[in-house]
Amino acid sequence: MPENVTGSLVLDGKWVREQIFAELKPRIAKLAATKRRPGLAVILVGNDPGSEIYVRLKIKTCEELGIYSEKITRPDTVTTAELLGIIEGLNQRPEIDGILVQTPLPPQVDKDHVLRALNPNKDVDGFHPVNVGALVENIPGPRACTPVGIMEMLRRYNIPVEGRKAVVVGRSDIVGKPMALLLLHANATVTICHSKTSNLAEECRRADILVAAIGRAHLITREYIKPGATIIDVGMNRKADGKVAGDVNPEDAKALASAYTPVPGGVGPLTISTLMANAVDLAEQHLCSG
């Protein structure tokens, strides 16, 4: 575990990521020995610079771990019907264990229709309604990557969750809602806040664990932070100078929190490691059922 050199423990996402990768490698090697490497297909539409960077990183990570990957690119003029056809083909291919549709998608594409066309057993992002339902019921299934990565970070840093008050700021389907459910399943007492919450600072100050995922740079300042809280900053906001800023003021987190995630280097590395773990989980399940 990285050393705590200041009063607040810096939660290092890269350290957690490397642990997860080290645990995945023998599992991947075992699958490869059966001539059944995990297979991940990534669908990239258009030329969004952020999406291109993310997809490039995902493909590179697959190569480093020994996971088979395919990148399928289409122009931003693609239709919903074309994407549905691609997904249907991937659903039928036994060597593809996970399918990822990189968002955002162009406005003419029905995103919900596209994501729901995925075979739930190949939904590596955990966004399909079947898998969301499995999360609500707390039964096995692919889970949203960032929230699962955060739970792994808390576990590996031995930060207790059970019985503690957790506040999640943000209600997105990708982070806020699944994060709240995972904390609830871990026996935290959970409050979900959002842009319409009254007295947001007061709600946040109750938190032993505060997860900021609202997408507003440095919204969370010292008046939002309970001294000694654990602060998880999911924000990745691009400032005018091109630098990335989290949702939490880092100096205030450093001064008041018992532990906090930096931006960058905190939550970011967890998402891709959990994505790879989901792909390996699905490959193992497909091998057993196949």
3-class DSSP state of 263: coil
Sign of the Cα pseudo-torsion (255, 257, 258, 263, in order): negative
CATH number at residue 83: 3.40.50.10860
Q: Is residue 187 part of a domain?
A: yes
User: Over the chain, what is the mean pLDDT?
Assistant: 95
Q: Are residues 101 and 152 in the same domain?
A: no
Q: Is residue 7 part of a domain?
A: no
Contacts of 238 (CB under 8 A, 6+ apart): 244, 245
pLDDT at 3 over 80: no
Taking only the tens place, the pLDDT of each residue in 110-153 is 999 999 999 999 999 999 999 999 999 999 999 999 999 999 99
Q: Are residues 111 and 76 in the same domain?
A: yes
> Cα separation of 188 and 174, whole Å?
20
Q: Is residue 280 part of a domain?
A: no
pLDDT at 5 over 60: no
Q: Are residues 115 and 212 in the same domain?
A: no
DSSP state of 146: H
Q: Please state, in angstroms and as integers, the Cα–Cα distance from residue 243 to each residue in 2, 178, 214, 215, 263, following that order.
A: 25, 28, 18, 15, 10
CATH number at residue 183: 3.40.50.720
Q: Is residue 113 part of a domain?
A: yes
Q: Please state, in angstroms and as integers, the Cα–Cα distance from residue 119 to each residue in 89, 156, 229, 286, following that order.
A: 11, 32, 40, 12
Return the number of other C-beta atoms located less than 10 Å from residue 277's C-beta. Answer: 22
Q: Is residue 257 part of a domain?
A: yes
The torsion of the CA quartet 17, 19, 24, 26, rounded to 10 degrees, works out to 150
Find where tokens 């200041």 sit: 6
206-219 average pLDDT score: 96
Structure tokens at 107: 């406005």
- pTM for this prediction: 0.94
> Cα separation of 32 and 182, whole Å?
31
Structure tokens at 229: 């809280």
DSSP state of 117: T
Taking only the tens place, the pLDDT of each residue in 23-45 is 999 999 999 998 889 999 999 99
Q: Is residue 177 part of a domain?
A: yes
> Cα separation of 51 and 215, whole Å?
17
What pLDDT is attached to residue 289?
80
Q: Is residue 232 part of a domain?
A: yes
Backbone angles phi, psi at 239, to 5 degrees: -85, 170
Q: Are residues 59 and 116 in the same domain?
A: yes
3-class DSSP state of 70: strand
Under the phi-then-psi rule, with left for phi > 0, alpha for psi from -120 to 50, and beta for the rest, what region is 88?
alpha
Active site residues: 58, 102, 125
What pLDDT is attached to residue 243?
85
Task: Domain count for the chain, please give it.
Answer: 2
Q: Are residues 150 and 263 in the same domain?
A: yes
Look up the domain containing 63 and give its range.
35-121
Taking only the tens place, the pLDDT of each residue in 44-94 is 999 888 889 999 999 999 999 999 999 999 999 999 999 999 999 999 999
pLDDT at 154 over 60: yes
